Amino acid sequence: MEPIYEGKAKRLFTTEDPNVLRMEYKDSATAFNALKKADFENKGRLNKAITLIIYRMLEEKGVKTHLVSDVDDINLLVTRVSILPLEVIVRNVAAGSFSKRMGITEGTPFQKPIVEFSYKDDALGDPFINDDYAREMGAATQEECDVLKKMALVINDTLIEFFLKANMRLIDFKVEFGRLANDSSTIVLADEISPDTCRLWDVETGKKMDKDRFRQDMGDFMEVYEEVLARLQK
């Protein structure tokens, strides 16, 4: 069966239900707009399992998501949505592109979380944009931008607490949202939440437990993903 969509880390397949898709998590890792690429055994399984735990927890806290049900090691069923072409990033502590752009030392905490948008376009390198750009690019209306920011901050509060219980600091993360295919006025959380899309540091040691280990060639890449999953399962 051919996927209806193939991204860098996941593939989407139709199911018998036109409103439900099967999302398969791949073993590939990419960074720097896929300039750097490699396969890691078990990565799909680990990211699927971690995303499932997080999505179930968020649903319990009242966050609407695209999750329908678990299928197997690497597949989830999800509601069909049309993904808004925006990456919504929330930052609690300076790191990554913020530190690079602003010259602020990695690890500097913010007074309040920062929410920012990137425009999803590989050819453009997912440029940093604001609400006005989002409107003019037809990516989201002002009302939708307001909803996205609000939802992202609620998700942030919930995730900070959740990861802290597992002895991890949530430094920053990226989420994506979709409009329901059968009700475009409803926006739900879509895509994954995993160590690919979050920065997580061990509370005591500051050890990086996320994709920065791949980006920065730090080693023990899948070992830390296994550890994240084990901690969340406790």
215: partner contacted, choices ligand ASP, ligand TMP, none (Cβ within 5-8 A by kind):
ligand ASP
Q: Which is nearer to ligand TMP, 64 or 215 (CB)?
A: 215
| Shortest reach from residue 194's CB to ligand TMP, in Å | 9
The item of ligand ASP, ligand TMP, none sharing an interface with residue 213, based on CB under 5 to 8 Å by kind, is none
Element (H, E) at 32: none
Termini Cα distance of the chain: 37
Amino acid residing at 143: E
Helix (H, G, I), strand (E, B) or coil at 127: coil
Residue 63 token pair: 């966050």
* DSSP H/E element including 159: helix 142-165
Regarding 83 and contact with ligand ASP (CB under 6 A), the answer is no
34 forms part of the interface with ligand ASP (CB under 6 A): yes
Identify which of residues 63 and 115 has a Cβ nearer to ligand TMP in the complex. Answer: 115
Minimum Å gap between C-beta 107 and ligand TMP is 13
Which of 142, 139, 114 is closest to 127 using CA atoms? 139
**Of the candidates 23, 24, 51, 98, which one interacts with ligand TMP according to CB under 6 A?**
98
Q: In what order do the strands lie in the sheet with 67-72?
A: 5-6, 10-14, 20-25, 75-79, 67-72
Interface of this chain with ligand ASP, residues 166 to 225, rule: CB under 6 A: 211, 215
Cβ proximity of 222 and 43 under 8 Å: yes
Chosen from ligand TMP, ligand ASP, none, partner binding at 14 (C-beta under 5 to 8 Å by type): none
The partner residues of 115 in beta bridges, in order of sequence, read 90
CB closer to ligand TMP out of 50 and 89: 89
In the chain, the amino acid numbered 233 is Q
- For residue 134, the SS3 value is helix
One symbol per residue from 27 to 56: x for binding ligand TMP (CB under 6 A), - otherwise; what is it?
------------------------------
Binding site for ligand ASP (CB under 6 A): 8, 30-34, 211, 215
Q: State the residues that interact with ligand TMP by CB under 6 A.
A: 89, 95-98, 126, 172-174, 197-199
